[in-house]
Structure 1
Amino acid sequence: MKTVNIKVLLLLLLIPISIFSQEENKRPKFITVTTGYWNMDYENFDKEKWIATEKEFLDNVTKKNEYVLGASVYLHRFTPDNSEIIFVTAYPSWEAIEKSSLRNEELIKSAWSNEADRKEYFKKRNAYYAHTHSDEIYVPIGNAKPIKLEDAKKELVWLAVKGHFAYPEEGTKEEFLKLNKEFIDNVIMKNDLIKGYYQHGHAWGSDKTEFSRAVAFESMDDLDKSYKKSDELFKAHWNTEEKRKEFRKKMGKYFTPNHGDFIYTSVPELSK
């Protein structure tokens, strides 16, 4: 796998919230990402029973919460910690994040009206997880490649890329947006191996320079093949070495040289 191909493929930028304010209302304005961890001492773990337990909460609470636009769950595939489990929730506004918590409480009491039943359910649910978790809030960045409904129903492989913005003095928001859109239109959108593509900038968390990108594939084989396909599309659009070099130089200045790659598997049964 050529280094330069990876560098070009993994482009993304933290962009101010105001850039998204005029986008259609159906798009989420904020996304929370909770990184939880399995209780590794849980005996006789059964994935189907775990899914059934979480689906009970999904059907009775998350799907009925009007402040939640979408929700999904991702399991470790290739990450530094095999106990990771990622919960992603999308909201239409900052206010909705706060209101959704109160709404969840109402729906929980409605679904498990008997206190003893409620305690029993959450004891069973919480037993799957360790006590520790971390939360981050991101802002969706435009130029997404939305997943088709038929693909969203499948178990997909997700590549999550985390990097950092370099804040170049000679850079401008306008230049980046133009370069970013040109790359996405001519590479990401034309690569049929990429089933979904989403960019996110930091909104609230431990590092304001963080940017992330999530890319969906049907299989690990498609993930590997996509690099070659993207390289072909890149060379077709920037059809001389001089043009390719110029684009890499312009775009490269917006990013620090370091990034991290993480691969997860979606759980389609637990999505809203």
Structure 2
Amino acid sequence: MKTIKKLLLAMLVLAFMFTTRTIAQEDTKEEFKPVYITVTTAHRSSDPDVDYSDWLKTEQEYFDKVTIKNDLIIGSGFYFHYFTPDDSEVKLVSVYKSWEDIDKANGVTTKLVNEGWPDEDERKAFFKKQGSYYGPMHSDEIYTSLPFQKDYTTESKEPMIFYVKVNQSGDGGKGFKEYFENVTMKNSYIKGYYTHRHRWGSNSLDAVEVFVVENFADIEKIFEEDTKLVKEHWPDADKRKEFFKEYSKIFSGHGDFILTNVPELSK
């Protein structure tokens, strides 16, 4: 119960990271202030007797009484399997302005929980019900954002699709900034794009890019548009080949994951 309570009171998940030194050292012209992202990956309960009919209603109550009222949490969300190796995963994310705000936010959360459920028995009953939706296993990570991002905001109540490219850091290489500015930023099918760097957690070698798209079909269109933009920016085949020979050294391989969010539980 202690593990589940820690998970549910934290309300964290889905962040992505960059650890490639070459990328981190490429300067951007505008001043950039990184945010801190706490991440917990949980799993839906495998208990066949768990009734999920009120899952959204239960999480909505927590969201309305706690998450939305905690001003130190500047962003949060739930993310589910769409096309991944494990369809039981539940990912949430909480975003903070500073490292210190992570600890402070936990204190505010405790206060809001007591205010939201002042009766101790009702409070215990609520968290017992909320905890029943999830298994006891989870993982925690903390990341900091990098300046290579394409911000996206929407008022739509429809779920978005998140294509997550989990790269493995390579040995050297260069050109990420040039590719980002001339391909990623110009690709109209990429509605949002985010990069994050590992700060604390299990694997500091992952280098992850997150692409926000409106629908599944747009993922394939991203690749087609990338090819077009690449040829426009590097029209000379020899120079193009030379650029990507160096660029390819940034990463040593990658895996692909596709997730979807819950708009009602997004901050």
**Residues 59 and 14 (structure 1), Cα distance of their counterparts in 2 relative to 1, 3 Å cut:** farther
- CA shift, 1:42, in A, is 4.4
**Residue 19 of structure 2 contacts residue 204 of structure 2 at CA under 8 Å; is this kept in 1?**
no
1:207 match: secondary structure: coil
Sort the Cα spacing of 1:209 and 1:87 in 2 relative to 1 into closer, same or farther, 3 A: same
Tell me how far apart the structure 2 counterparts of residues 66 and 14 of structure 1 sit (CA, whole Å): 32
CA contact (8 A) 1:72 1:271 kept: yes
Q: TM-score, normalised by structure 2?
A: 0.85
Instruction: From 224, 227, 242, give the equivalent of 1:228.
Output: 224
Which one of 160, 165, 174 corresponds to residue 161 of structure 1?
Answer: 165
Structure 1 unaligned segments of length 5 or more: list them.
1-11
Map 1:33-182 → 2, pairs under 5 A: 33-43=39-49, 45-46=51-52, 49-150=54-155, 153-168=157-172, 176=174, 179-182=175-178
Whole-angstrom distance in 1 between the partners of 2:51 and 2:258: 22
Cα separation, 1, equivalents of 2:254 and 2:131: 33
5+ residue gaps, structure 2: 1-17
Deviation at 1:63, TM superposition (A): 1.3
Once the two structures are superposed, residues 19-59 of structure 1 have per-residue CA deviations (whole angstroms, 9 ceiling, x without a partner) of 79x9455xx52112211000022446446x21121111111
Runs of 4+ in 1 over 2 A off after TM superposition: 12-17, 22-25, 42-47, 148-151
Deviation of residue 140 (structure 1)? Answer: 0.7
Equivalent position of 1:253 in the other structure: 249
**How far apart, in 1, do the equivalents of 2:125 and 2:114 lie?**
13
Per-residue CA deviation, residues 41-100 of structure 1 (Å, 9 max, x unaligned), is 2446446x2112111111111111122110011100111111001011111111111111
Please, what is the CA RMSD of the aligned residues? Answer: 2.2
**Does the 8 A contact of 1:195 with 1:215 survive in 2?**
yes
* Structure 1 residues 53 and 215, CA gap change in structure 2 (3 angstroms): same
> What is the alpha-carbon distance in structure 2 between the residues aligned to residue 42 and residue 90 of structure 1?
33
Structure 2 distance, partners of 1:247, 1:13, is: 21
Distance 2:111 2:229 in 1: 50
Choose which of 32, 37, 55 in structure 1 pairs with 2:38.
32
Name the counterpart of 2:196.
200
In structure 2, the CA distance between the partners of 1:204 and 1:59, relative to structure 1 (3 Å rule), is same
Give 1:191 deviation, angstroms: 1.3
How far 1:234 moved relative to its partner?
1.1
**Percent of aligned pairs sharing the same letter:** 39
Q: Is the 8 A contact 1:162 1:260 kept in 2?
A: yes
| 1:199, distance to aligned residue in structure 2 (A) | 0.6
1:102: how far off? 1.4
Q: What's the counterpart of residue 179 of structure 2?
A: 183
1:212 maps to 2:216: no
The whole-number CA distance in structure 2 between the counterparts of 1:39 and 1:187 is 41
Counterparts of 2:20 and 2:49 in 1: how far apart (Å)? 42
Question: Could you say if the C-alpha distance between residues 236 and 104 of structure 1 is closer, same or farther in structure 2, counting changes exceeding 3 Å?
Answer: same
The one-letter code sitting in structure 1 at the alignment partner of 2:91 is: I
Q: Is the 8 A contact 1:42 1:128 kept in 2?
A: no
Inter-partner Cα distance in structure 2 for 1:95 and 1:224: 40
Cα distance, 1:244 vs structure 2: 1.5
1:244 to 1:45, Cα distance in 2 relative to 1, 3 A:
farther
